[in-house]
Amino acid sequence: MTSVELNKTTLPSVDDLQARAREALAAIFERPVDTELGEPGGPGVHASTPITGEALFTLVETTAQEARAAITAAAEAFTVWRTTPAPVRGALVARLGELLIEHKEDLACLVTIEAGKITSEALGEVQEMIDVCQFAVGLSRQLYGRTIASERPGHRLMETWHPLGVVGVITAFNFPVAVWAWNSAIALVCGDTVVWKPSELTPLTAMACQALLERAARDVDAPPALSHLLLGGRDIGEQLVDDPRVALVSATGSVRMGQQVGPRVAQRFGKVLLELGGNNAAIVTPSADLDLAVRGIVFAAAGTAGQRCTTLRRVIAHTSVADTLIERIAGAYRSLPVGDPSTDGTLVGPLIHETAYRDMVGALEQARADGGEITGGERVDVGGDAGAGAFYVNPAVVRMPSQTPIVHDETFAPILYVVTYETLEEAIALNNAVPQGLSSAIFTTDIREAERFMAADGSDCGIANVNIGTSGAEIGGAFGGEKQTGGGRESGSDSWKAYMRRATNTVNYSSELPLAQGVKFG
């Protein structure tokens, strides 16, 4: 064990975690959920917790036949929902938002148990769902099309936006509820229906979201079958990918997953919205406010135990500030309480599982072999025997001689590589040198540097921030990134357009028939 502060030396018992999950689910379902929650072990989908690394319950797995039936039901429901007026569709999402406010703590409790997020971040994730519901409700009255000047007299040109169809949503463990809400809230106001395949690691939160949406539908008399949940593994996800009735596959996960999903959906001319890996950097310039930079960096790099796709993985520090910066980050890391994420005061919870820990160890070994100087990164013994299957770590900061290949990989753990630069050109080139393009930041008080970073020849990422870290985006902006991040945009701004199809309408209200481009015919 190192000098990192431990928040608690004992972890909650598995009985305690089961009881908390049962209670939260019962509040959400408004009834006991004993029939849904089987004893751990045996065939089915396993709900477990990274807090202790133990299995909690076994849930019934969706069969291939049930998945097909769900897509059929969603396709049928679409025929009704697409002609339901958009503001009426908005009423469903408004009700969902109200239920999320009512059950914010219950859902956050499940997020903490299944994904290992600290309570404040779990509550923040549910808040992100509430925010996107409110955004979507406003949007339900703003699905605007354009009117375009026609080149012909007596003609009008316009665009109309129509619902797309069934949207298949595939989500990852690290944002088990917010990413579903980003997709579902927008898809539902756009007139689409949803079939969701959550991560196998987070089935309880998924059941809870589905139950809240079903309740919202009942409360506002929306048709049932607008939304379906598929619990299972890769095969189930593949059904969504391959079924031609699924008009859009919105998938969040690894680059490798996206490389498989993208071409398969394209093969059948379906649409994809991909939100894949990130390898996010922050440039720290000589003019940076270092207090602010250190705070921004520590939250972005160590928050969520380094398991956000927006996690800060690289600092590109000017040579004049690098030593001080590394010292201050390492100092801040030493005072970050690591431990049970459900306890007040903990700031760093567990890694999701042993594989994540092994990946972290492997990346650090490689970084050391490449000449990296590592501070932190050790496993933390939080719970003695109780924590044998749980993986808590100190966040690591690694000074690298250069961006070696390991720095170009996204390791889903709290490892922060630091490289140095001399000129801003060089810093921007380093920022852009990785295959992923999700988020980026610059810490500077020089407006020229800030603007240069956001210009066309600046950061090549979907998110380019000034004086804040790379993570923790608000829902109002479009979220997503370029290159291997997949190019998709979700949540705010005009991301809704991905969930609709556009028709261009030319209306001739004259009694002549002039042809475009001055063509004469007869």
Interacting residues with ligand UN1 (CB under 6 A): 128, 174-175, 179, 252, 308-310, 471-473
Residue 275 catalytic? Answer: yes
C-alpha dihedral over 19, 23, 28, 29, to 10 degrees?
A: 80
Tokens 């109309």 correspond to: 160
Closest CA to 438 of 411, 392, 478: 478
Would you say 177 and 203 are in contact if contact means Cβ atoms under 8 Å apart? no
Residue 426: its H or E element: helix 424-432
- CB of 250 closer than 8 Å to CB of 167: yes
Q: Which residues of 305-327 are buried (b: 16+ CB within 10 A; e: fewer)?
A: bbbbbbbbbbbbbbeebbeebbe
Which of 173, 496 has the CB closer to ligand UN1?
173
Residue closer to ligand UN1 (CB basis): 70 or 461: 461
Please list, residue by residue across 408-443, b when 16 or more beta carbons sit within 10 angstroms of its beta carbon and e when fewer do.
Answer: ebbbbbbbbbbbbbeebeebbebbbbbebbbbbbbb
Q: Tokens in use for 498? A: 């991905």
Q: Identify the active-site residue in 190, 309, 449, 461.
A: 309
Min separation Cβ 180 and ligand UN1, Å: 11
Three-state DSSP state, 213:
helix
Angle between helices 86-102 and 203-219 (to 10 degrees): 130
Residue 181 one-letter amino acid:
A
316 in Cβ contact with 427 (< 8 Å): yes
CA 345 to chain centre: 25
**Closer CB to ligand UN1, residue 178 or residue 386?**
178
Closest CA to 444 of 293, 245, 325, 275: 293
Nearest CB to ligand UN1, comparing residues 141 and 256 = 256
| Identity of the residue, 110 or 143, whose beta carbon is nearer to ligand UN1 in the bound complex | 110
Q: In the complex, what is the shortest distance from the CB of residue 308 to ligand UN1, in angstroms, rounded to a whole number?
A: 4
Closer residue to ligand UN1, CB minimum distance, 172 or 396: 172
The minimum distance between CB 309 and ligand UN1, in angstroms, equals: 4
Comparison of 127 and 287: residue with beta carbon closer to ligand UN1: 127
Cβ-based neighbours of 79, under 8 Å, separated by 6 or more: none
Closer to ligand UN1 by Cβ: residue 232 or 303: 303
Residue with the closest Cβ to ligand UN1? 473
Active site residue 133: no
Residue placing its CB nearer to ligand UN1 in the complex, 287 or 467: 467
Type and span of the H or E element at 56: strand 54-59
Provide, rounded to whole angstroms, the least separation between the CB of residue 488 and ligand UN1. 11
Q: Which of 114, 121, 128, 275 is catalytic?
A: 275
For 91-150, the DSSP string reads HHHHHHHHHHHHTHHHHHHHHHHHH---HHHHHHHHHHHHHHHHHHHHHTT-----EE--
Residue in the block written with tokens 């089915």: 44
SS3 436: strand
Smallest gap, in angstroms, from Cβ of residue 178 to ligand UN1? 6
Closest separation in Å from C-beta 278 to ligand UN1: 8
21 membership: H or E segment, kind and range: helix 14-29
Helix (H) or strand (E) holding 88: helix 86-102
Least Å distance, CB 493 to ligand UN1, is 14
Query: What's the rounded Cα separation, in Å, for the pair 314 and 433?
Result: 12
Shortest separation between residue 468's beta carbon and ligand UN1, angstroms: 11
395 DSSP assignment: -
Name the minimum Å distance from CB 463 to ligand UN1.
8
Active site residues: 275, 309
